[in-house]
Structure 1
C-alpha cells in the first residue's frame, strides 16, 4: 500500500507486480497498472487489485436441516461464506447483508483472462462438497505454495517457465516474496479456472475467486477508465454457492455483485488504506477519497 492518499482519490489500478513481493503490493495498491513480463512466458498484467478485489464473501451463516430422518435425530447445519484477504489472511464479515471486497491482487492475462483476486472461503462443519455457479464469467480455485527447495532462484525460474511439478496444470501463476529483492521466502499463488457448476470436495484451506475474460485494450486507453470498465464487468452478476453436508442435505446462498466507490480508512501509516465496508455516494467519495471496487448484496 502507499501512504500518499492524495494520489489515490480516483484510484487507478496499481502498477506494482505481486511477483516482486506481497509487501510491495500493499505499498503500491491504488496506482495505475503497467504491463509486465509474463511469468508463464508471454506478456501478462498482474494487478494488485486496487478495486478492492482480493477478498470476497464474508461470514454469512446459512442453516439447513437433515431431511428424511427421525426429527429427534435431525442435525442443524450451518455454513459461512467468509471474506478472505490473501495477502494478510484477514477474514471480513458482512455488514447489513452487504459484502465489500477487500484489497488484494490478481492477474490479467490476454490469453488466460482476468483472475480478479476476489477470493472467498467456505466455513462450517460436516461439509462434504462445495459447488458454485455464476452467470457472468467463471469461478476459479486458488492455493498458495511455499518454496521449500534448496535453490530459490531455480524454483522461481521453474514457476515462471511452467515446468515446476507443483503447478499441477494451473492456468496462471503469481510468484511473490516476503520482502523486496532478496526476499528470504518465496511463494506462488496458483489459479485454476473451473467449469460453471463444478463440485469440489470440501477443503477449509481452499479459496475461490471470480474470473472474467480480459478486455481488449490499447496503449492509448486511459488507465483509470480502463480499470473501471474491467471492474464493471462484474456489475449485476449473480453468484450462487451450494454446500452439501455429510448427511446428504444441501444449502445454497445467492448474492448479486455490484461495483462502486468504496470507503477506506487509515488504521496506521504503515498499513495504508483499509476498507470500512461502506459504499459511498459520488459526493461522499469526492470529499473522502475512495477505492473503486466490487461489493455483493446477499439475496
Structure 2
C-alpha cells in the first residue's frame, strides 16, 4: 500500500498532537461564548490533531421516483437523506425543503483536495445499494473510528504511519480528540462519480472538490469562503435500489450562504438551526458560512 502520510513525517506524535488539540479545545470554548459572524478560518488545512467542533446538521425524508415494482401490490418505498454530524452522530430535519450542511469535520489539503465535511446519510428500510453522482467535484465515503486500544499514543502513531488496519486504504485521515475525551479518526475514501455501494446505515457520504489555488490577498476566512463557494450550483443525485429491485432517485441543487446558529448553553459552541439567513438577518444574529441543498 502506498504511504499516504508523507506530509505527516515532520509531526512529532503524540506530544505535539496533544498540545495542538488542547489548544483547539481552548479556542472552541472561547469561541462558544462569542457571537459568530462568519466561518472562522481556523479550520483551514486542519490536517490532523484537530478537535473539530461538532454541530447538528439538517436532513430530509424523501419520496423519490420509483421504478420496477408492482403498482398494485407494492407499498411505496421511501428513503431519507439526512445531513449528518460525524462528531456527534446527530441529525436534524430540514426547513423549507432545505438541507443545511456543516463543515466541522472537513479538511482542505493542497494535494488531496477539499474534503468539505458536508456529510449526508441514507436512511430507510429494505435498501440494497446506494449510488450517487455530482456534476462538480466528487462524493466521498467516510466513517469515524474510535480508539479503544490500551495505548492511545501508539494508536495515534499507527494512524499517522498508515499501519492501522482500520485505515483500509483510506485516501484521507483526520485524527481528533483531546485528553478529556477519546481519540477518533475520520477516514475518507474519494469515490468515482456514479459509484454503487452496498447499503450500510453506518456509512456517511461527503462532498469533495479539488483544492483551489489561494490568492495572495486572501486571509484564512476569505480563503475558506471561496473553497465553500465551489459548491454553488452543483447538482447532487442519489439513487437507491431496494431489495425487491425497485429504485428511487432524488436530487438537490447545492448553494452556499449564511446559515443560522443558536447557542444552547454557555459551554458549547454554535449549533445550526437549519435556517438560511438573509444578509439582514445575519447582521442581527450569529451565522456560519456554509453549504445547503434545495431539494428538487
TM interval, shorter chain, is 0.7 to 0.9
How far apart are 1:289 and its partner, in Å?
3.0
Q: Aligned pair in 2 of structure 1 residues 62, 69: CA closer, same or farther (>3 Å)?
A: closer
Match of 1:168 in 2: 168
How far apart are 1:215 and its partner, in Å?
1.1
Q: How does 1:46-195 map to 2 (within 5 A)?
A: 55=57, 58-63=59-64, 67=68, 69=70, 71=72, 73-102=73-102, 104-177=104-177, 180=178, 182-183=179-180, 185-195=182-192
Which residue of 18, 25, 28 corresponds with 2:52?
Answer: 25
How far apart are 1:220 and its partner, in Å?
5.0
Q: Aligned pair in 2 of structure 1 residues 127, 166: CA closer, same or farther (>3 Å)?
A: same
Q: Aligned pair in 2 of structure 1 residues 127, 287: CA closer, same or farther (>3 Å)?
A: same
Q: Aligned pair in 2 of structure 1 residues 12, 176: CA closer, same or farther (>3 Å)?
A: closer
Contact 2:108 2:114 in 1 (8 A): yes
Q: How does 1:150-299 map to 2 (within 5 A)?
A: 150-177=150-177, 180=178, 182-183=179-180, 185-217=182-214, 221-299=218-296
Equivalent-residue separation in structure 2 for 1:160 and 1:91 (angstroms): 30
Equivalent-residue separation in structure 1 for 2:33 and 2:212 (angstroms): 29
Contact 1:140 1:192 in 2 (8 A): yes
Asked if 1:13 is matched to 2:14, the reply is no
Q: Specify the SS of the correspondent of 1:216.
A: coil
Contact 1:67 1:74 in 2 (8 A): no
The structure showing larger relative contact order (alpha-carbon pairs under 8 Å, at least 6 residues apart) is 2
Equivalent-residue separation in structure 1 for 2:176 and 2:256 (angstroms): 28
Contact 1:261 1:293 in 2 (8 A): yes
Equivalent-residue separation in structure 1 for 2:121 and 2:98 (angstroms): 16
Higher deviation after alignment, 123-132 or 257-266 = 257-266
Contact 2:48 2:173 in 1 (8 A): no
| TM-score, normalised by the number of residues in structure 1 | 0.82
Q: Specify the SS of the correspondent of 2:95.
A: coil
Match of 1:44 in 2: none
How far apart are 1:208 and its partner, in Å?
0.3
Contact 2:61 2:81 in 1 (8 A): yes
Contact 1:18 1:176 in 2 (8 A): no
Q: Aligned pair in 2 of structure 1 residues 4, 271: CA closer, same or farther (>3 Å)?
A: closer
Q: Aligned pair in 2 of structure 1 residues 19, 137: CA closer, same or farther (>3 Å)?
A: same
Deviations 1:224-268 (A, max 9, x none): 211111010000000000000011110011100000111111111
Alpha-carbon RMSD across the aligned residues, in angstroms, is 2.3
Equivalent-residue separation in structure 2 for 1:217 and 1:20 (angstroms): 23
Q: Specify the SS of the correspondent of 1:156.
A: helix
| TM-score, normalised by the number of residues in structure 2 | 0.82
Match of 1:40 in 2: none
Deviations 1:261-282 (A, max 9, x none): 1111111112221112221222
Could you tell me which runs of 5 or more consecutive residues in structure 1 were left unpaired when the two chains were aligned.
Answer: 30-51
